Structure 1
Amino acid sequence: MSSLHIRHLSHKYALTEVLNNISLDLHAAETLALVGPSGCGKSTLLHLVAGLLTPAEGILQSSFQGVATVFQEPRLMPWKSARDNIALGLKALGVPAKARRRLAEELGRRLGLSADDLDKYPHALSGGMQSRVSLARALAINPDLLLLDEPFSALDVGLKEELYALLDQQISQQGTAVLLITHDLMEAVRLADRILMMVPNPGRILHEFPLLQPHDRRDTAWVYGTLAELMQVETVRVGFGLASGPLPEPVFHSHDQGCPV
């Protein structure tokens, strides 16, 4: 089974330490959410996992073979149609033109993109449509590790729910592991199997909150109730600046350890 293991990872930009002593595990078919205030190093950690940066210290071991990333901004190629943007990864993998066109269209349709939408260039698509194309591009290569850097933050509630459902389907059918960065604690409760609370100066993991409810039983009442419970946890309130007080010492938890929530 594929997995990601990080132990005592630290990273600096010049003399500024942005991550300190990060340790975590992520396994196939599991969604791990990183939450915390701006500046706590969430995106830097994701870039390290993606291989876009090299850690200054520590161990980062991954046996995932196919990794795809979706960023907050869609980052589409403006000179390519939506269809060709979706097919970019397939082209890089050497998939023949006819096959990648068919696969791109099938995936685009799954995400609610019409044939006309697929013919359009990014500037002619709404923000929501661009986000669908960006997610389709990542899913097209059938990754076993999906890195999500707040890709849903600018979307309306209805579109978020559609994409959440598609993500659930990808995980259940393909066994994809997901590392999700979000400022939205409700989104983390909705999607994650475990939540890691991070704090800044330097960025570090403060606590882990496993969510044991099966995804297919996470109705609206459960999501809101669990969010309310989390918002009463002193570590969360202090970490997000909602209450004053000293932060506890960071604690590392392996993926199978429990906690009160």
Structure 2
Amino acid sequence: MSGLTISHLYHRYGVKEVLADVGLDLHAGETLALVGPSGCGKSTLLHIVAGLLTPSEIQMRSTFRSIACVFQEPRLMPWKTGLDNIALGLQAQRLPKAARRKQAAELGHRMGLSMEDLLKYPHELSGGMQSRVSLARALVTRPDLLLLDEPFSALDVGLKLELYGLLAEQIQQHSTAVLMITHDLMEAVRLADRILMMVADPGRIVREFKLHTPAKERTSTWIHQTTDELMQLDEVRIGFGLMEGELPKIELHDHAPRHGGCSV
């Protein structure tokens, strides 16, 4: 089974230590969410996993063969149409032009984009449509590992829910592993199998939560209840600056919400 294991990850910008002794593991078909306040090193960690940044120290083993990233900003090529932006990864795989445009169009349609939309350039698309193109561009190559850097944070609630569903469908069909970062705890509760709580100064993991209820069985009531219970924990409240206090480097305790939704 494909997987990713990281241990003893440290990273510094000059003399400032931004990540300290971070470790995590991720398996095929699993969604792991990193949550925490701004400045706790979530994006830095994701960029290290993506190979975009070389850490100060790390022990890492990955058997994932292909990785795709979706960022908060769509980062589309402005000189290419939506269709050709989606097909970029397929072009890198040297798929013939007709075949890659066909695959890109099929996935674009599943993302709710018409052919008229797909033939437009990024500046002609709404922000929501650009987000659909960006997600389709990452998914069209069927990556083993999908890295999500808060791609839904600027979207309205309705569009978020729609893209959540499209993402879940692709993950289920292709057993894609997902490493996502978010400051939105409810989003993590909705999508993830496990949640790692990070805090800053320096960035480190202080708690892991396992969500046992399958994502497709999570009702709005369950999501709100679980989020509310997690928000009552000291690590979460201190981490998000809702109460004063100090946290140790690593702290793992047993925890099970009253309705049995998750544990540590």
TM-score per shorter chain, which class? over 0.9
Match of 2:141 in 1: 141
User: What are the within-5 Å matches in structure 2 for residues 170-185 of structure 1?
Assistant: 170-185=170-185
Name the aligned partner's letter for residue 11 of structure 1.
H
Match of 1:207 in 2: 207
Structure 1 residues not aligned, in runs of 5+: none
Name the aligned partner's letter for residue 118 of structure 2.
L
Structure 1 residues 252 and 58: CA distance shift in structure 2, 3 A: farther
Match of 2:217 in 1: 217
**What SS class does the counterpart of residue 171 from structure 1 fall into?**
helix
Judge conservation of contact 1:208–1:259 (CA < 8 Å) in 2: no
Match of 2:237 in 1: 237
Name the aligned partner's letter for residue 3 of structure 1.
G
User: What are the within-5 Å matches in structure 2 for residues 1-261 of structure 1?
Assistant: 1-251=1-251, 259-260=255-256, 261=263
- TM-score by length of structure 1 reads 0.96
**What SS class does the counterpart of residue 109 from structure 2 fall into?**
helix
Judge conservation of contact 2:107–2:140 (CA < 8 Å) in 1: yes
Q: Deviations over 1:84-104 (max 9, x none)?
A: 000001001101000000000
Name the aligned partner's letter for residue 161 of structure 1.
L
**What SS class does the counterpart of residue 24 from structure 2 fall into?**
strand
**What SS class does the counterpart of residue 201 from structure 2 fall into?**
coil
- TM-score by length of structure 2 reads 0.95
Judge conservation of contact 1:40–1:198 (CA < 8 Å) in 2: yes
Q: Percent identity?
A: 67
Judge conservation of contact 2:205–2:249 (CA < 8 Å) in 1: no
**What SS class does the counterpart of residue 142 from structure 2 fall into?**
coil
Q: Deviations over 1:26-81 (max 9, x none)?
A: 00000000000000000000000001111211201111001000000000000000
CA–CA distance in structure 2, aligned partners of residues 120 and 175 of structure 1:
31
Shift of 1:251: 3.7
Shift of 1:259: 4.2
Shift of 1:245: 1.4
Shift of 1:15: 1.9
Aligned pairs, number: 257
Q: Deviations over 1:214-250 (max 9, x none)?
A: 1111010100010111111111001100011121331
Pairwise CA RMSD of aligned residues?
1.2
CA–CA distance in structure 2, aligned partners of residues 21 and 191 of structure 1:
26
Q: Deviations over 1:93-146 (max 9, x none)?
A: 101000000000000000000011000000000000000000000001100100
**What SS class does the counterpart of residue 26 from structure 1 fall into?**
strand
CA–CA distance in structure 1, aligned partners of residues 54 and 61 of structure 2:
12
